[in-house]
Amino acid sequence: MATNQQRREAAKRKLERQLARRAERAKRRRIVGVGVTVGAVVVVAGLIVILATRGDGAADNADAADGSSSASTPDGQSQDIQIPTERVELASRPEPLPNPTSCEYTKSGEPAKDVSVPDGDDVSSEGTVYVTLHSNVGDIGLELDRALAPCTVNSFVHLSEEGYYTDTSCHRIGTEGLQMLQCGDPTGQGTGGPGYTFADETFDELTYGRGVLAMANSGPDTNGSQFFMVFGDAPLPPDYTVFGAIDDEGLKVIDEVARAGHDGAFDPSPGGGKPLTEVTFTDVTVEG
């Protein structure tokens, strides 16, 4: 039979073992707690890195909106395009034209939409005319320069005031090489005209680039109603009559249309296609 002394020593050893086990458990809890905390810190740090990386990407994309962008193709694939941000300066004629001047508009084929032939007598070759193309995607403001191309400006104003461009859609956009939006054909096919043609008003110093408004043609002296608005690069010879400029807000509208892409209907020649974002002129107003 154990003595009282032995029982006390056994109880003491038991208590010491219990205290040791408690201390061990407490130590393990502290280790686990530290591990969880470290893990949480690692996870949070990882999230911060990911969010920071995404943030940089968003900033890059925001910057890219002023230059590079992504255009869609009909099959849903994305295509990177580069849109210059700097406008070009319009060329000036080396010698002023007589003021007033005379313009000859020659009947040619059937008009795509009923319209009369403009009066070509005593046409001013000085000053500017402001035209706003109101469209379903936003207003596009144009500043027409009579000194550059008085006969072209006279025809464009005439067609605008007679409602020729109203309720017509832009049929072609190019996003690579020649970056422009082409409009002015009521048929929407790129084959229609106003039933008359007139001569080119070109000169060797002509250049093309962002902000330039010019006439489309099918050869020398075949100008009619179709025109193109350059929003980017345009490595063209001086064979297309420049008659004005596009305002900044209008360029932003065209940029967004370009970023949406085209259907490639005009590839490989002359290039581009119908805009995937339809552009329809709901009204055209003329001032000056």
User: Residue 36: what pLDDT?
Assistant: 36
User: Residue 125: what pLDDT?
Assistant: 98
Give pLDDT tens digits for 119-163. 999 999 999 999 999 999 999 999 999 999 999 999 999 999 999
Tell me the DSSP string of 47-76. Answer: HHHHHHHHHHHHHHHHHHTTSEEEEE-TTS
Backbone angles phi, psi at 263, to 5 degrees: -90, 0
Both tokens of residue 41?
């810190």
Segment among 18-22, 32-36, 114-118 with least mean pLDDT:
32-36
Q: Would the pLDDT of 78 be above 70?
A: no
Confidence band for 21, pLDDT divided at 50, 70 and 90: low
Q: Please, is 232 exposed, middle or buried when counting C-beta atoms within 10 Å of its C-beta (0-12, 13-18, 19+)?
A: buried
Angle of CA points 147, 148, 149, to nearest 5°: 100
Segment among 73-82, 95-104, 165-174, 223-232 with least mean pLDDT:
73-82
Q: What CA–CA distance (Å, rounded) separates 254 from 230?
A: 9
Q: Would the pLDDT of 46 be above 60?
A: no
User: Residue 17: what pLDDT?
Assistant: 59
Q: What CA–CA distance (Å, rounded) separates 77 from 72?
A: 6
* Higher per-residue confidence, 183 vs 269: 183
Domain boundaries, the chain: 1-64, 89-287
Highest mean pLDDT (candidates 47-51, 70-74, 260-264): 260-264
Which CATH superfamily includes the segment(s) 89-287? Answer: Cyclophilin-like (2.40.100.10)
* Higher per-residue confidence, 288 vs 231: 231
State percent of the chain over pLDDT 70: 73
User: Residue 58: what pLDDT?
Assistant: 29
User: Residue 20: what pLDDT?
Assistant: 57
User: Residue 23: what pLDDT?
Assistant: 54
